[in-house]
Structure 1
Amino acid sequence: MTPAATAAPGALALKVGELVEVRSAEEIHATLDENGELDGLPFMPEMLAFCGRRLTVHKVAHKLCDYIGHTGLRRMSEAVHLTESRCDGSAHGGCENACSIYWKEQWLKRVSADDPVTPTPDAGQRVLLPLLVRNSQKEPFDDGAVRWSCQGTEMQRAAPEALPLKHLGQYREDVVSGNAGVLQVLSAFLIAVFNRYQNLSKKLLPDFLLIRDGLHWGFLEGGVRSGRTPTEILDLQPGELVRIKSREEIMATLDSNLLNRGMGFDAEMSRFCGRTARVKARATRCVDERSGRMLTMKNPCIILEDIVCEGAFTANCPRQYVCWWREIWLERIG
Structure 2
Amino acid sequence: MENLELHRGDLVEVKSPGEILATLDAQGRYEGLPFMPEMAQFCGQRFPVRARADKLCDTVNYSGSRRLPDGVLLGDVRCDGSGHDGCQAACRIFWKTAWLRRVVPDMPASPPFPHEDVELLRQRTQPYTRSESEANGKTEITYVCQNTELPKCTELLNLWNPGPYINEYTSGNVSFRHFLTVTTRAAITEPKRKLGLVPEIHLPGTASKDERFPALDLQPGEWVRVKSKEEIARTLTSDGRSFGMWFDKDMFPHCGKVYRVRQRISRFVHEPNGKMLTPKMASVTLEGVVCSGDYAVCRWFCPREIYPYWREFWLERVAAPK
Per the normalisation by structure 2, the TM-score is: 0.91
Alignment of 1:2-151 (within 5 A): 8=1, 10-122=2-114, 123-140=116-133, 142=135, 143-151=138-146
Quick one: percent identity of the two aligned structures?
Answer: 40
Given residue 129 of structure 1, which amino acid in structure 2 is its aligned partner?
R
Corresponding residue SS for 1:277: strand
**Which is further off, 147-156 or 121-130?**
121-130
Deviation of residue 193 (structure 1)?
A: 5.2
Between the aligned partners of 1:281 and 1:92, the Cα distance in structure 2 is 17
Query: Quick check: 1:56–1:83 contact (8 Å CA) kept in 2?
Result: yes
Residue aligning to 1:165: 159
Residue aligning to 1:155: 150
Match for 1:215 among 161, 181, 199?
A: 199
Between the aligned partners of 1:179 and 1:95, the Cα distance in structure 2 is 28
Residue aligning to 2:177: 183
Deviation of residue 280 (structure 1)?
A: 1.1
Query: Quick check: 2:289–2:307 contact (8 Å CA) kept in 1?
Result: yes
Residue aligning to 1:257: 239
Between the aligned partners of 1:252 and 1:189, the Cα distance in structure 2 is 32
What per-residue deviation string (whole Å, max 9, x for no partner) do you get for residues 138-163 of structure 1?
Answer: 2336231211100111011121x221
What per-residue deviation string (whole Å, max 9, x for no partner) do you get for residues 90-145 of structure 1?
Answer: 11010000000001111111111100012142343333323211101123362312
Corresponding residue SS for 2:20: helix
In structure 2, stretches of 5+ residues that fail to align are none
Residue aligning to 1:267: 249
Closer, same or farther: CA 132–261 of 1 in aligned 2, 3 Å: same
Given residue 317 of structure 2, which amino acid in structure 1 is its aligned partner?
R
Between the aligned partners of 1:221 and 1:18, the Cα distance in structure 2 is 40
Per the normalisation by structure 1, the TM-score is: 0.87
Kindly report the root-mean-square deviation, in angstroms, between the aligned alpha carbons of the 2 structures: 1.9
Deviation of residue 82 (structure 1)?
A: 1.1
Query: Quick check: 1:78–1:105 contact (8 Å CA) kept in 2?
Result: yes
Given residue 161 of structure 2, which amino acid in structure 1 is its aligned partner?
H
In structure 1, stretches of 5+ residues that fail to align are 1-7, 203-210
What per-residue deviation string (whole Å, max 9, x for no partner) do you get for residues 225-266 of structure 1?
Answer: 643244221111111111111122212221233211122210
Between the aligned partners of 1:156 and 1:193, the Cα distance in structure 2 is 28
Residue aligning to 1:208: none
Residue aligning to 1:228: 210
Corresponding residue SS for 2:206: coil
